[in-house]
Structure 1
């Protein structure tokens, strides 16, 4: 589907709403009032419109950014898996120096641009896969609702741990998905907890609250720990 056709369909099947944790942001979303909400999959013009929903982890990160300007002000921000773009838009509103909304789905980036325009903010979009990248040009990384799969969560957490040890600020929004295990939570600090609005509870499979976590700098991923132990056991000649 070409972007022009996608944009037309997206505007047709979504609603501009502020009924979420960040009413400062006007976002076009697939709400319960939209016919597409209850339509059979076969009648949907989109294969997987995840970017049409404001997931609870994303709501938490955006809410935290809006309440804590110093986290992003005059800093370079990367929003990974940006979806509808709320985290990136919140960072831009809070005077980030540079904001890059990242998603490997170009439709998500188009949705982010649309929502950014509604909120009168400027940001960049990027469809590259940043997972595993050094991210030297960024000061803070925003992550929302990405710990939904254990295999991916393992890769993601090791990468974020490496970035944290390099001095990056990593904020993770999550409502309690199984990939954010107790072991991983023990390596982070819980910095915010929010009760979801009734509308969001109904839209998100019964989740009633959502949280924001910050990785602790001393977290060492397995690959770094192995290299360190190897060096201790076999010193340089």
Structure 2
């Protein structure tokens, strides 16, 4: 796909530079793996009959897993257009029916979006999945402020214990999962990852 691109165009196109340098959406991150495992095991209570948002979706694993567990509607969100394209491609490769996962590149945090209003039936119960979002302390504060506005939502966070993970009481650990060998090798030897449930304090 990349081999035939004009080198001069690449050097002057920030979007193409972003595509070629360590794209975050090209990897499976440990937090997404934790959410994938957790909803697989608890789909009846976390996904079935609910609206589901995969926030900061990346490659789309959480959305793809959720789409198979009986949700009413699934929406994958990422502000990176390439990530949105990756979710679409990965969904097709994994046999997800076209259109089963909705896609949006809206900056939900910056816009103060109330997530339930994104869905066709906002009265349905809502689950929000947040994988690997606490990589920066400033962004972590923005995310936590936004999550606090999502009244009534079931919110799950997947994180391996990064420095920016909030420790002020809102995140309750609900599970820990061993990482498979490939994820250990690509994440500096991390051996496990945790799933947390958000709660207001």
Specify every segment of 5 or more residues in structure 1 that has no aligned partner in the other structure, as ranges. Answer: 1-7, 10-42, 220-237
User: Which string of whole-angstrom CA distances, capped at 9 and with x for unpartnered residues, describes residues 10-63 of structure 1?
Assistant: xxxxxxxxxxxxxxxxxxxxxxxxxxxxxxxxx996134110100000100111
Alpha-carbon separation, structure 1, partners of 2:64 and 2:163: 27
Which residue of structure 1 lines up, in the alignment, with residue 37 of structure 2?
63
Q: 1:134 to 1:210 in 2, by over 3 A?
A: same
User: Which string of whole-angstrom CA distances, capped at 9 and with x for unpartnered residues, describes residues 77-105 of structure 1?
Assistant: 11111000000001101111111111111
Offset of residue 74 of structure 1: 1.4
Give runs of aligned pairs for residues 57-206 of structure 1, distance below 5 A.
57-70=31-44, 71-121=46-96, 122-131=100-109, 132-137=112-117, 139-163=126-150, 166-183=151-168, 186-206=169-189
SS in structure 2 at match of 1:155: helix
Contact 1:78–1:101 (CA under 8 A) maintained in structure 2? yes
SS in structure 2 at match of 1:158: helix
List structure 1 segments (4+ residues) > 2 angstroms apart after TM superposition: none
Give yes or no for the alignment of 1:51 onto 2:36.
no
User: Which string of whole-angstrom CA distances, capped at 9 and with x for unpartnered residues, describes residues 135-168 of structure 1?
Assistant: 12361111000100001101111211221xx101
Instruction: Give the structure with the higher percent helix.
Output: 1
Alpha-carbon separation, structure 1, partners of 2:116 and 2:103: 17
TM-score, normalised to structure 2, is 0.81
Structure number with greater Rg is 1
TM-score, normalised to structure 1, is 0.69
Specify every segment of 5 or more residues in structure 2 that has no aligned partner in the other structure, as ranges. Answer: 3-16, 120-125
Q: Larger relative CO (CA 8 A, sep 6+): 1 or 2? A: 2
